[in-house]
Amino acid sequence: MSNADLVARARAWAEQDPDPATRGELLALLAQPDLAKTDLADRFAQSLEFGTAGLRGVLGAGPNRMNRAVVLSTTWGLAHELLATFPDATEKGVVIGYDGRRYSREFAVDTALVLAAAGIQAHLFDDVAPTPLTAYAVTRVGAVAGVMVTASHNPPEYNGYKAYWRNGAQIIPPTDERIAARIAKSPAAKDVPRLDMEGARTRGLVTTVPAKVTLDYLDAVRRLAVHEGGDRAFPIVYTPMHGVGDVLARKALANAGFTNVTSVPEQQKPDGAFPTVAFPNPEEKGAMDLSFALATKLGAKLVLANDPDADRLAVALPRPEARGPGVSPGVEPGFVQLTGNQVGVLMGHYLLTERPKAAAHEPLVVATIVSSPMLGAIASALGVHYEETLTGFKWIANLAMEREKEGYAFLFGYEEALGYTVGDVVRDKDGISAAAIVAEMAAVMGSRNKTLLEELEAIYRRYGLFVSSQVNRTRKGASGAAEIAALMDRLRASPPRRVGDKDVLATRDYLTKERRDAHGEKTPLTLPKSNVLTFELAGGSRIIARPSGTEPKVKFYFDVREEMKEGEPLAEAEARANGVMKRLADAFVGIAG
């Protein structure tokens, strides 16, 4: 794009931008003497793409940023798709929730007022709300859709717009494609019809989500409990990571009988600047430091952390001096932060073995293709139906509902990125109900003189030791997106035949929906199309490559399974498995470039 074209596009955008703040931001960039030293070109390199994850991007002016103009056009497209799809759309309406990030409230209000102008009732939360509560509210109030304004665990400069359908699950193809097509036909942002708030409320087109919805959600979470026993007065440290989970998580834990829960004070209140963390994701190094310091001071037996919109959960446990996964003799006491796979395996095993089986329905557990294969191994050993989906809880939720129609009872689903859901309360990942179940597990195991780390080791010894790791490569901007696309194209065109000392037995290409073995024989894959490659290796190991759907990065996943020898210390088995995994990771990263 030439400078003249760039300037023309930027001026045209500024003219149709109804937000004086972002309009002024754009005009200030245009006034710079050297546009090459600004990010103006990136702001207009493309438009944020509306997909199954909705929208997510850096806040700022321009089509490749999150701003009010983009939200207005997006909501216009959503409204017209709802009117065309659901005869009762105007009556049933749309639930709108928002988190504590910058512009979240403004985006939520704009969404409500555009829907109201289209005659669609907007059920707007009167304060910040966690993502799982918003998803729950869609079906609880009988709405035809939901919108959650959040960027989840992305850095502070991001925000997003997540869409739910009337089943309470995130949208899937072709719904996203139909909405995107309507967005492309929307009028200029300044011309998108909006009602004023006073008029919309007077006409009943914007209403507040009833407080009873929150109470009903908490009651539904309480009913997910499997056991009531065990000491529930042990100290727990919790952090919402400057997000919106504190009030609901603490109430859910209190309802479950946990009386000694302390929030990290520096991170307790919603704050879109996230002042104590560089990256508000509990998986990131350093994000849990304040939690561990407080837990050490209080002698906590469990540390729980939600991400900023409370749909994910991180778990950490006191580190014994010489026992537990990843702990060597002589290690100083501290905290072991479990991986998402470890938490998923603990929760899945607990629910499968402790919850009474419904007589009329076969239980179902689901994981994503990038999560550890261990839940599948446990389900197979227990004779329970297990399936895998593409990455993203939209796939888990929609698969669960399909199988429920066939007579299965959906019990549990998880993905390795700290996402879990139990039963049918929320058709998305839910870090609040997961926190209650994990605390319950700790109490129940404690009543049996066992820690959760010891329970995890027992599971390893019974079903095999599974270890997993992930390598990410971040590439920002339009050039970064092109680089990631080229990397995937190379791997697809010339898949490796050998990685390290292991042969590649087959390649699964979820974009072409086929599996090709080392002899060239092809078999079809049934999952929806997705830009994901899986390399099946000799000995049961595997490698997966996929671009992130919400962040500017490509992700490589590595899974290795090792049988534990009789009486073998766990640390030795883990060292052996991790050695295999590191060699695989080093070799594959070299191949991928």
E strands within 202-312?
A: 206-208, 236-239, 261-263, 302-306
Task: Please give the Cα distance from 194 to 187 (Å, whole number).
Answer: 12
Query: Could you tell me if 206 and 200 are in contact, meaning their C-beta atoms sit under 8 angstroms apart?
Result: yes
**Which residue matches tokens 């037995």?**
505
SS3 388: strand
Where in the sequence numbering do the catalytic residues fall? 152
Task: Please give the Cα distance from 344 to 348 (Å, whole number).
Answer: 6
CB atoms within 10 A of CB 46: 11
- Helices 452-463 and 374-382: angle between axes, nearest 10 degrees: 70
Q: Please give, one letter per residue, the 3-state secondary structure of 393-423.
A: HHHHHHHHHHHHHCCEEEEEEEECCCEEEEC
SS3 546: strand
| CA angle centred on 61, ends 208 and 482, rounded to 5° | 110
Sheet holding 145-149, edge to edge: 55-58, 158-165, 145-149, 94-98, 122-124, 206-208
Residues in Cβ contact with 214 at an 8 Å cutoff, skipping those fewer than 6 apart: 133, 248
Query: Could you tell me if 400 and 407 are in contact, meaning their C-beta atoms sit under 8 angstroms apart?
Result: no
CB atoms within 10 A of CB 52: 20
Query: Could you tell me if 85 and 167 are in contact, meaning their C-beta atoms sit under 8 angstroms apart?
Result: no
Query: Could you tell me if 405 and 415 are in contact, meaning their C-beta atoms sit under 8 angstroms apart?
Result: no
Query: Could you tell me if 417 and 502 are in contact, meaning their C-beta atoms sit under 8 angstroms apart?
Result: no
Strands 206-208 and 122-124, by their bridges, are: parallel
Q: Give strand pairing partners of 59.
A: 66
